[in-house]
C-alpha cells in the first residue's frame, strides 16, 4: 500500500493530492474547464436576468428620485397587461413578424432553388445577393427612408416612370403604409440570410434522390414537394426560429425609419419598451415589459421545437 | 433535459438583449487638487476681452498668469450637441477649436446626435452617473424634467445680473425652472413663417398671409391654379414637431396648451377648431401628405425642392433654402413672422441652453467653455445659422449686415414669443399629444376624441409625477 507508483495515480488511494483527485474524476475536470465560462455567463447573463426580474417587481423611476424604489410585486405586470396600447403594440409586432417572415421564407427558398441550378455567372450572383445582408442595419434603414421619401424618393421616381402611380405618394405617412415600408426594408435585408442557409441545405441533398424520382416519373413539382421540401424543413425551422426572435425584437429599422409613427402605426413592442425604459427612465416598468417580451418569444419557440420534432424525416 | 437547457439558454440570450441594463453606480473618482474652488468664476471672462472688446472692466491681465501654473494639469471635457437646426456641426467644431487654442489646458471633445436622439442620450447617460458628459445641450422643454431628476447643476449664481439684462427673456426662460437657472442660454431660436416668393406671385399674391385664414385662402388659390400640388408642408411627424406645430396654430387662435397647474388646456373650443383645421387641410391636400412623416430637415428639403408654397421652420432654413448648393429655390425663400388669428402672431420658443451635468468632474472648465461659446464675439461670428442670445447685438451693424432679412423679422416676431410649458413630464406628454393628434390627422379618430384621449392620458401621467404619486 505504501509504495505508490507515480505513473499510476489512478489507483484508489486515500493519499492522493487534491489536485490528482480533481484530475481523476472526469466530472470535476469538466467542471474545472467550464468554470471560467460559467463565471462569465453568470456575471454577464444570469445576474442581469435576475436583477432585471427584481427590478420588474419595483417602481424604479430614475426621473423621480424622490419616490425611492418601493416594492410593488406584480404591479408593473398588471399595469402593462391592462394597457390597451401595450396590446396594440403586441398586435403590430405579430403583424410585422408574420408578414416579414412569410415573405422572407418564400422569397428566400425560391431564390435559393434558382441559385442551386447550374447556369453561367451563378457564383457572381451568389456573392452579389449577399450584399444586403452585409450592410449594417442602420444604413439599410436610412437608405430605405430615403427611397420611400414622399418628395424626392427613388421609389416614387421609379414608379412614376413605370406608370404605376400618377403622382408622388407619401409612403410612410399612414400607419399601414409605414408598416409595410418597414417590412419591405426588413425583407430586403434578411432574405439573403434565408437564401444562404437554404442554399447550404439544398446542396446536401443527394442527387440520386432526384434521379430516382425522375425514373419513377415524378414531376418537378412533386420532387420538390416530396424530396426537397422535407429535407429543407429542418433548416427552415432554424431560420424560422432565429427570425422569429429577431423580428419580435425589431427596433433599429423602426427607430430610424418611422420613430414608431405615424399615429403609433409602427410602434412595435421593442420600441414601446425602449421608450418606457430609456426615454421615460421607468426602469421597473421597462424590465417588466422586457420579461413579457421574452415570455412571448419562449412560447413561440416551444411551439416551434415541438413542431420540428414531430416533422423530422429521413431518407 | 436538453430541450429545457436549450430553452433556458435562449431565454438567457433574449433577456440579455432586451432587458434594460441596470444603471451602473459608478462613483466619480475624487479629484485631489480641485482647481474648482481656487479659480474665481470671473476667470472665463478673462478670456473674452482678450479677443477684442475690452469694455468688460480690467481684470484680464492678473487672472491669466495665476492660472498659468495650474494649466499644467490638463482636463478633458465632453460635450453633447445636436446636428440639425441652429449652429451646424462645423460651426461648433470651429468654436471649440478656437476655445482650445486659447485654453491649451482644456481639451474639448464633442459628440453630435440628432435632436430626436438627444433627450434619450442625455437621460440615459445622466442616469448611469458615469460622468460621460460634462456639458449637454438642453432643449427649453427639458430643464424641468432634468432639474427635478437632479441630472443638471443649478448655475443661477454664475450668470451675472449684467448678463441677464442683455439676454433675450425668452432665451433666459428656456433654461429656467422654478426661478432658478439650470444652464447658459446658447441657441436662440423661434419658429418663422417661410414662403416661396415666386410661387406666391404665381398664385396671385404679393404679400405673405397675416392670419391662418388668409393663409388657407392663398393655399386653396395656389392649389386651384396648379401652382403647387400641396401648398403647405408642416412638421407633423410623431414627435415634438407635431406638438410644436399644433401649439403655434392653437396659440394664434387664443388657446393654451397647459394651464398654470400643469393641466392640459388644449381640449377647448380653440383646440378643436385648430385640430379640425389641420384634419381638413390634410384631407383637402392643403398640407403635403408627407407632413406626417416630416421633421424639420424633411420640411426644409421639401421646401427647398420648390414643391411647397409655405412652410414653417427655425431660423436656419432661411440661409439654407437660399443656398444654391442646398436648394433649388435660392433667392425665393422669404421669411416672415408666423401668421396670427385672434392674436396678431404667435411663435414658439425653441431656445436651447447648455447645462452642466450633475456628475461632471470638471464643472469649472465646462462653465468656462460654455461662457466662451455663448459669448458675444462667438455668437456674432457664427450668426449665419442662429441668432445671438444677446439683445444688444441685434442693433450691431455687422450683424444686421450679415442677416439683413432675418434681423428685422426677428425683432417683430420676438414680440409674440411664447414658451412651451415647463413641466417635468413634458417629454411624456408630448409623446401622447403627437400620437393622438396624428391619429386624428390620419382619420382614425375624430378630433374631439383625440383631444379628449390626450387630455385624459396626460392627466394620468401628471398624477404619477405628483409628490406621492404611484
Residues of each domain in chain A carrying CATH 1.10.3720.10: 77-310
Q: Chain B partners of A287 at a C-beta cutoff of 8 Å?
A: 19-20
Q: Which residues between 304 and 323 in chain B have a beta carbon less than 8 angstroms from any beta carbon of chain A? A: 305, 307
Residue B135 and residue B270 in one domain? no
Q: Which of A216-220, B242-246, B256-260, B359-363 has the lowest mean pLDDT?
A: A216-220
What pLDDT does residue B38 have?
Answer: 36
Q: What is the CATH number of the domain that holds B448?
A: 3.40.190.10
Residue B82 and residue B132 in one domain? yes
Confidence of residue B44 (pLDDT cuts 50, 70, 90): very low
Q: Mutate which of B7, B19, B149, B454 to disrupt the A interface (most A C-beta within 10 Å)?
A: B19
Residue B254 and residue B300 in one domain? yes
Residue B10 has pLDDT above 80, yes or no: no
The answer to whether the CB atoms of B238 and A174 lie below 8 A apart is no
Digit-coded pLDDT (tens) for A237-290: 888 888 998 999 999 999 888 888 788 888 999 999 998 888 888 889 999 999
Q: Is there a domain that residue B56 lies in?
A: no
Residue B174 and residue B289 in one domain? no
What pLDDT does residue B191 have?
Answer: 92
What pLDDT does residue B47 have?
Answer: 40
Q: Which residues between 213 and 252 in chain B have a beta carbon less than 8 angstroms from any beta carbon of chain A? A: 229, 236-239
For B116, which of A49, A167, A259 is closest by C-beta distance?
A259
The alpha carbon of residue A172 is apart from the nearest alpha carbon of chain B, in Å, by 6
Q: Is there a domain that residue B197 lies in?
A: yes
Q: Chain B partners of A55 at a C-beta cutoff of 8 Å?
A: 20, 22
Q: Is there a domain that residue B9 lies in?
A: no
Q: Chain B partners of A46 at a C-beta cutoff of 8 Å?
A: 12
The alpha carbon of residue A17 is apart from the nearest alpha carbon of chain B, in Å, by 34
Q: Is there a domain that residue B173 lies in?
A: yes
Q: Chain B partners of A65 at a C-beta cutoff of 8 Å?
A: 149-150
How many alpha carbons lie under 13 Å from residue A148 in its C-beta half-sphere?
26
Percent of chain B with pLDDT over 70: 84
* Measured distance CA(B430)–CA(B91) in Å, rounded: 30
What pLDDT does residue B18 have?
Answer: 45
If one looks up domain A77-310 in CATH, what number appears? 1.10.3720.10
The answer to whether the CB atoms of A291 and B127 lie below 8 A apart is no
Q: Which residues of chain A have pLDDT under 50?
A: 1-2, 4-5, 9-11, 13
Confidence of residue B272 (pLDDT cuts 50, 70, 90): very high
Confidence of residue B188 (pLDDT cuts 50, 70, 90): confident
Residue B260 has pLDDT above 90, yes or no: no
The alpha carbon of residue B212 is apart from the nearest alpha carbon of chain A, in Å, by 24
Q: Chain B partners of A293 at a C-beta cutoff of 8 Å?
A: 14, 18
Q: Is there a domain that residue B214 lies in?
A: yes
What pLDDT does residue B33 have?
Answer: 37
Residue B143 has pLDDT above 70, yes or no: yes
Q: How many residue contacts between A and B have a Cβ separation below 8 Å? A: 168
Nearest Cα residue in chain A from B461: A280
Q: Is there a domain that residue B98 lies in?
A: yes
Q: Which residues between 178 and 207 in chain A have a beta carbon less than 8 angstroms from any beta carbon of chain B? A: 178
Residue B395 has pLDDT above 80, yes or no: yes
The answer to whether the CB atoms of A262 and B438 lie below 8 A apart is yes
Residue B284 and residue B140 in one domain? no
Confidence of residue B19 (pLDDT cuts 50, 70, 90): very low
Residue B390 and residue B432 in one domain? no
> For chain B, how many structural domains are there in total?
2
Residue B234 has pLDDT above 90, yes or no: yes
Q: Which residues between 130 and 149 in chain A have a beta carbon less than 8 angstroms from any beta carbon of chain B? A: 149
- CA distances to A62, B212, B241, B425 from B277, in Å: 39, 10, 17, 28
What pLDDT does residue B73 have?
Answer: 73
* Measured distance CA(A111)–CA(A117) in Å, rounded: 10
Residue B459 has pLDDT above 90, yes or no: yes
Local structure of residue B349 (DSSP, 8 states): B
B123 and A CB contact within 8 Å: yes
Contact B201, B403 (CB under 8 A): no
Torsional sign, CA B63, B66, B68, B70:
negative
What pLDDT does residue B368 have?
Answer: 92
What pLDDT does residue A26 have?
Answer: 80
Q: Which of A181-185, B86-90, B307-311, B313-317 has the lowest mean pLDDT?
A: B86-90
Confidence of residue B403 (pLDDT cuts 50, 70, 90): confident
How confident is the prediction for chain B on average, in pLDDT? 82
Residue B25 has pLDDT above 70, yes or no: no
B377 and A CB contact within 8 Å: no
* Measured distance CA(B144)–CA(A187) in Å, rounded: 42
The answer to whether the CB atoms of A279 and B427 lie below 8 A apart is yes
Local structure of residue B30 (DSSP, 8 states): P
Q: Chain A partners of B2 at a C-beta cutoff of 8 Å?
A: none
Residue B12 has pLDDT above 80, yes or no: no
Which comes out higher in pLDDT, residue B229 or B384? B229
Q: Chain A partners of B148 at a C-beta cutoff of 8 Å?
A: 63-64
The answer to whether the CB atoms of B19 and A305 lie below 8 A apart is no
Q: Got the DSSP string for chain A?
A: -----TT-TTS--TT--HHHHHHHSHHHHHHHHHHHHHHHHIIIIIHHHHHHHHHHTB--BTT-GGG---B-TTHHHHHHHT-HHHHHHHHHHHHHHHHHHHHHHHHHHHHHHHHHS--TTHHHHHHHTTHHHHS-HHHHHHHHHHHT-TTT-HHHHHHHHHTS-SS---TTSSHHHHHHHHHHHHHHHHHHHHHHHHHHHHHTS-HHHHHHHHHTT--HHHHIIIIIHHHHHHHHHHHHHHHHHHHHT--HHHHHHTTT-STTTT--HHHHHHIIIIIS-BHHHHHHHHHHHHHHHHHHHHHHHHHHHHT----
User: Average pLDDT for residues B57-82, to the nearest whole number?
Assistant: 59
What pLDDT does residue B53 have?
Answer: 40
What pLDDT does residue A189 have?
Answer: 92
Residue B225 and residue B264 in one domain? yes
What pLDDT does residue B211 have?
Answer: 94
In three-state secondary structure terms, B357 is strand
What pLDDT does residue A121 have?
Answer: 85
User: Average pLDDT for residues B296-324, to the nearest whole number?
Assistant: 90
The answer to whether the CB atoms of A63 and B424 lie below 8 A apart is yes
The alpha carbon of residue A268 is apart from the nearest alpha carbon of chain B, in Å, by 13
A242 and B CB contact within 8 Å: no
Residue B146 and residue B252 in one domain? no
User: Average pLDDT for residues B90-103, to the nearest whole number?
Assistant: 91
Q: Does the interface ipTM go beyond 0.90?
A: no
The answer to whether the CB atoms of B149 and A290 lie below 8 A apart is no
Contact B317, B260 (CB under 8 A): no
Confidence of residue B467 (pLDDT cuts 50, 70, 90): low
B69 and A CB contact within 8 Å: no
User: Average pLDDT for residues B252-265, to the nearest whole number?
Assistant: 91
Residue B50 has pLDDT above 60, yes or no: no
The alpha carbon of residue A225 is apart from the nearest alpha carbon of chain B, in Å, by 29
Contact A247, A187 (CB under 8 A): no
Q: Chain B partners of A291 at a C-beta cutoff of 8 Å?
A: 15, 19
Name the grid cell of A201: 441545405
What pLDDT does residue B41 have?
Answer: 40
Residue B357 and residue B435 in one domain? no
Residue B308 and residue B330 in one domain? yes
The answer to whether the CB atoms of A278 and B124 lie below 8 A apart is yes
What pLDDT does residue A223 have?
Answer: 84
Phi, psi of B110 (to 5 degrees): -115, 140
Q: Is there a domain that residue B137 lies in?
A: yes
Which comes out higher in pLDDT, residue B134 or B15? B134
What pLDDT does residue B71 have?
Answer: 47
Q: Is there a domain that residue B134 lies in?
A: yes
Residue B91 and residue B175 in one domain? yes
Q: Which residues between 187 and 216 in chain B have a beta carbon less than 8 angstroms from any beta carbon of chain A? A: none
Residue B94 and residue B225 in one domain? no
Domain that holds residue B311: 192-344+425-465
Name the grid cell of A142: 436610412
B326 and A CB contact within 8 Å: no
The answer to whether the CB atoms of A48 and B14 lie below 8 A apart is no
Nearest Cα residue in chain B from A284: B20
Amino acid at each position: 500500500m505504501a509504495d505508490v507508483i507515480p505513473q499510476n495515480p489512478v489507483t484508489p488511494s486515500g493519499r492522493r493530492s487534491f489536485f490528482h483527485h480533481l484530475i481523476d474524476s472526469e466530472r470535476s475536470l469538466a467542471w474545472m474547464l467550464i468554470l471560467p465560462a460559467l463565471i462569465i455567463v453568470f456575471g454577464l447573463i444570469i445576474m442581469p436576468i435576475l436583477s432585471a426580474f427584481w427590478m420588474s417587481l419595483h417602481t424604479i423611476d430614475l426621473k423621480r428620485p424622490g419616490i425611492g424604489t418601493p416594492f410593488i410585486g406584480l404591479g408593473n405586470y398588471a399595469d402593462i397587461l391592462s394597457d390597451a396600447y401595450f396590446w396594440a403594440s403586441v398586435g403590430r409586432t405579430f403583424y410585422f413578424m408574420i408578414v416579414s417572415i412569410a415573405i422572407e421564407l418564400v422569397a428566400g427558398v425560391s431564390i435559393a432553388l434558382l441559385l442551386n441550378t447550374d447556369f453561367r455567372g451563378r457564383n457572381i450572383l451568389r456573392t452579389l445577393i449577399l450584399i444586403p445582408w452585409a450592410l449594417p442595419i442602420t444604413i439599410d434603414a436610412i437608405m430605405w427612408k430615403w427611397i420611400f421619401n414622399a418628395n424626392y424618393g427613388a421609389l416614387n421616381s421609379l414608379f412614376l416612370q413605370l406608370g404605376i402611380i400618377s403622382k408622388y405618394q407619401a409612403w410612410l405617412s399612414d400607419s399601414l403604409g409605414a408598416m409595410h415600408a418597414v417590412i419591405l426594408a426588413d425583407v430586403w435585408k434578411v432574405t439573403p440570410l434565408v437564401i444562404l442557409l437554404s442554399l447550404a441545405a439544398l446542396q446536401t441533398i443527394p442527387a440520386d434522390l432526384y434521379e430516382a424520382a425522375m425514373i419513377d416519373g415524378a414531376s418537378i413539382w412533386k420532387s420538390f414537394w416530396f424530396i426537397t421540401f422535407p429535407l429543407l424543413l429542418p433548416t427552415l425551422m432554424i431560420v424560422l426560429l432565429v427570425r422569429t426572435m429577431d423580428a419580435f425584437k425589431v427596433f433599429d429599422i423602426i427607430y430610424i425609419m418611422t420613430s414608431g409613427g405615424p399615429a403609433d402605426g409602427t410602434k412595435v413592442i421593442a420600441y414601446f419598451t425602449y421608450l418606457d425604459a430609456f426615454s421615460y427612465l421607468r426602469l421597473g416598468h421597462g424590465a417588466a415589459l422586457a420579461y413579457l417580451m421574452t415570455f412571448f418569444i419562449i412560447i413561440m419557440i416551444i411551439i416551434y421545437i415541438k413542431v420540428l420534432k414531430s416533422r423530422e424525416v429521413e431518407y | 433535459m436538453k430541450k429545457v437547457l436549450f430553452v433556458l439558454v435562449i431565454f438567457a440570450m433574449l433577456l440579455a438583449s432586451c432587458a434594460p441594463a441596470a444603471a451602473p453606480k459608478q462613483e466619480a473618482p475624487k479629484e485631489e487638487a480641485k482647481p474648482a474652488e481656487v479659480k474665481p468664476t470671473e476667470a472665463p471672462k478673462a478670456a473674452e476681452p482678450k479677443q477684442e472688446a475690452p469694455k468688460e472692466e480690467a481684470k484680464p491681465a492678473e487672472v491669466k498668469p495665476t492660472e498659468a501654473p495650474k494649466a499644467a494639469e490638463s482636463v478633458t471635457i465632453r460635450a453633447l450637441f445636436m446636428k440639425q437646426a441652429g449652429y451646424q456641426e462645423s460651426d461648433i467644431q470651429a468654436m471649440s477649436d478656437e476655445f482650445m487654442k486659447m485654453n491649451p489646458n482644456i481639451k474639448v471633445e464633442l459628440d453630435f446626435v440628432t435632436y430626436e436622439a438627444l433627450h434619450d442620450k442625455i437621460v440615459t447617460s445622466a442616469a448611469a452617473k458615469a460622468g460621460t458628459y460634462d456639458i449637454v445641450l438642453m432643449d427649453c422643454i427639458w430643464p424641468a424634467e432634468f432639474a427635478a431628476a437632479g441630472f443638471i447643476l443649478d448655475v443661477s449664481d454664475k450668470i451675472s445680473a449684467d448678463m441677464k439684462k442683455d439676454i433675450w427673456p425668452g432665451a433666459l426662460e428656456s433654461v429656467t425652472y422654478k426661478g432658478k437657472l439650470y444652464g447658459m442660454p446658447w441657441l436662440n431660436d423661434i419658429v418663422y413663417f417661410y414662403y416661396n416668393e415666386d410661387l406666391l406671385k404665381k398664385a396671385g399674391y404679393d404679400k405673405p398671409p397675416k392670419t391662418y385664414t388668409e393663409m388657407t385662402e392663398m393655399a386653396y388659390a395656389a392649389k386651384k391654379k396648379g401652382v403647387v400640388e400641396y401648398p403647405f408642408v408642416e412638421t407633423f411627424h410623431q414627435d415634438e414637431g407635431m406638438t410644436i406645430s399644433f401649439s403655434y396654430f392653437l396659440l394664434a387662435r387664443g388657446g393654451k396648451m397647459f394651464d398654470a397647474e400643469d393641466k392640459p388646456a388644449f381640449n377647448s373650443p380653440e383646440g378643436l377648431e385648430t385640430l379640425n383645421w389641420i384634419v381638413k387641410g390634410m384631407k383637402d391636400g392643403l398640407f403635403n401628405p408627407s407632413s406626417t412623416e416630416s421633421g424639420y430637415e424633411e420640411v426644409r428639403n421639401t421646401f427647398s425642392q420648390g414643391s411647397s408654397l409655405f412652410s414653417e421652420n427655425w431660423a436656419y432654413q432661411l440661409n439654407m433654402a437660399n443656398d444654391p448648393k442646398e436648394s433649388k429655390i435660392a433667392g425665393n425663400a422669404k421669411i416672415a413672422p408666423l401668421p396670427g388669428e385672434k392674436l396678431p402672431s404667435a411663435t414658439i420658443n425653441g431656445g436651447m441652453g447648455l447645462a452642466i451635468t450633475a456628475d461632471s468632474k470638471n464643472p469649472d472648465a465646462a462653465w468656462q467653455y460654455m461662457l466662451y461659446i455663448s459669448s458675444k464675439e462667438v455668437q456674432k461670428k457664427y450668426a449665419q445659422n442662429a441668432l445671438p442670445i444677446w439683445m444688444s447685438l441685434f442693433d450691431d451693424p455687422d450683424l444686421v449686415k450679415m442677416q439683413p432679412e432675418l434681423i428685422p423679422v426677428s425683432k417683430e416676431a420676438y414680440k409674440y414669443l411664447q414658451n412651451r410649458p415647463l413641466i417635468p413630464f413634458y417629454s411624456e406628454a408630448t409623446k401622447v399629444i403627437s400620437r393622438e393628434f396624428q391619429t386624428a390627422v390620419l382619420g382614425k379618430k375624430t378630433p374631439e376624441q383625440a383631444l379628449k384621449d390626450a387630455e385624459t392620458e396626460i392627466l394620468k401621467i401628471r398624477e404619477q409625477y405628483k409628490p406621492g404619486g404611484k
